[in-house]
Amino acid sequence: MIKEHRRITIMNCKRCHHVAQIHESAMNSSSLMKLGRCAIPGCTCRQYVDSIEKLDEELL
């Protein structure tokens, strides 16, 4: 039996280091992923900072 493993990519905010999934969606965001403030109580991060600065064909 062969098990297929999927690669899971977890990206963290460069500012607060919390995972992208915990940041709120914000269409007016300057981040590539369109994410805004962090939803972790007590975290002061107001804007998700991308680890990737630009998308190229290799990343797509």
Instruction: Report the Cα 20 to chain-centroid distance in Å.
Output: 3
6-56 residue pLDDT tens: 665 678 999 999 999 999 999 998 888 899 999 999 999 999 998 776 656
pLDDT of residue 4: 57
The domains of the chain are located at 1-51
Distance CA 28, CA 52 (A): 18
**Angstrom distance (rounded) from CA 47 to CA 43:** 11
